[in-house]
Amino acid sequence: MKHKLFSCTSLASSFFGIFIPCMLISACSHAPEYARVRGYAQGGEYSVTYNREGVNADEQTVAHAIDSILTLVDTSLSGYNKASILSRYNAGAEVRPNRLFLDVLDRCRDYWNLTGGALDVAAGPLYDAWGFGFRNASLPSAGTVDSLRAICGMDKLLPDLTSSVPGVCPVLNFNAVAQGYTCDLVAAYLHSLGVKDMLVDIGEIYCEGVNAKGNFWKVGVDRPVDGNMTPGADLDGIWQGDGRGCGIVTSGNYRKYYEKDGKKYSHTIDPRTGYPVSHSLLSATIVTGNAADADAYATYCMVIGLEEAKAFISSAPDVEGYLIYDQDGQMKEWASEGFNIVSPEQ
């Protein structure tokens, strides 16, 4: 199985200087040649750390450019920004999709084909119906689920972005790929400056090279237990890179779910059935050459469950994975051969 790798250098190079940024910048105290840009975007805090050696742009210029990328993503792909291209498209307004929007949509069509429909960004109405999209709802009836499955999905999205079902307005949801894609855009910009050592953390992660101490980057894998809402507070283990650029993304159902009538409903919806998944897989951490693919594949693994996820990871070139699952009430782990996991104590 071959997977299409993503390069967004050409996209990133055309995005800068468009918006007026507002950023907080600080230099890493332990290594002045490393700089750190921090701020708030996509519903949480983000951090970009990079080695300034050989970089002609000053820190303020880099911060402005990163802020421009994040603003462009927000105004193009966010379903929470009501003025974004995506939100206006979902509301049925006539929009002119920009290059960013179309690029993500093309990639998502590839994911849909690759996964046999298990990853479907055009199933937005199903996510909304279960309360895990851009609207508040819960527990749709079987009739509602069936009716939504009949009108939504990538197979019904025509090339002109209209629906093949008369009278239906397609609804898209890019949550399964947008944060990883954003990491890749920021990384591509830093590459354009000659940066070789970086860690881009925008909810998902892209890293490359070494940190300020000269060591390979390490990323914690959270224990997927209900109530573990703070990344890094309770770790199952730590992944360590080898210097090659890659995305590392974890998807799980332990932070986004609700309970009703004694039953837990996870935020991972299988668009092929229309229902939240119910299986033993608690979280999936994927490492691959870019963060967009890692983001999409982690979600895909959570849809298909433990055994299919093992088979996918084992057969996919340049994809490594770490799966945490429940076995008779005990938390167990499975790692692919190339996934370098170390204990929190190391």
Element containing residue 222 per DSSP (H, E): strand 218-222
Helix (H) or strand (E) holding 295: helix 291-304
Segment 137-159 shows an average pLDDT of 88
**Consecutive H or E run containing 284:** strand 281-288
Residue type, 4: K
- Token pair, residue 43, equals 């519903």
Tell me the chain's radius of gyration from C-alpha atoms: 20
Residue 35 pLDDT: 96
Task: Give 13's pLDDT tier (boundaries 50, 70, 90).
Answer: very low
Residue whose pair of structure tokens reads 């999409």 in the numeric block: 296
Displacement of CA 137 from its chain's centroid (Å): 23
Query: Are 67 and 23 in contact, with CB atoms under 8 Å apart?
Result: yes
Given a cut of 80, whether residue 24 has pLDDT beyond it is no
**So what's the pLDDT on residue 266?**
63
SS3 content of the chain, % helix, strand, coil (to 5): 30, 25, 45
So what's the pLDDT on residue 31? Answer: 45
Tokens of 140: 């749709």
Across residues 165-189, what is the average pLDDT? 95
pLDDT in tens, 196-244: 999 999 999 999 999 999 999 999 998 887 665 566 567 878 999 999 9
pLDDT above 90: percentage of residues in the chain: 66
Mean pLDDT of 324-331: 90
> What gap in Å lies between CA 104 and CA 91, rounded to an integer?
19
Phi, psi for 137 (deg, rounded to 5)? -165, 175
Contacts of 219 (CB under 8 A, 6+ apart): 205, 207, 238, 239, 241, 248
First to last CA, the chain: 35
Give the Cα separation of 227 and 254 in Å (integer). 7
Per-residue pLDDT averaged across 315-327, rounded?
A: 94
Give whole-number Cα distances, 296 to 38, 45, 176, 312, in Å: 25, 21, 6, 13
The pairing of beta strand 330-335 with beta strand 275-276: unpaired
Amino acid at 110: D
60 vs 3 pLDDT, higher one: 60
- Nearest C-alpha neighbor of 135 from the set 124, 145, 146, 143: 124
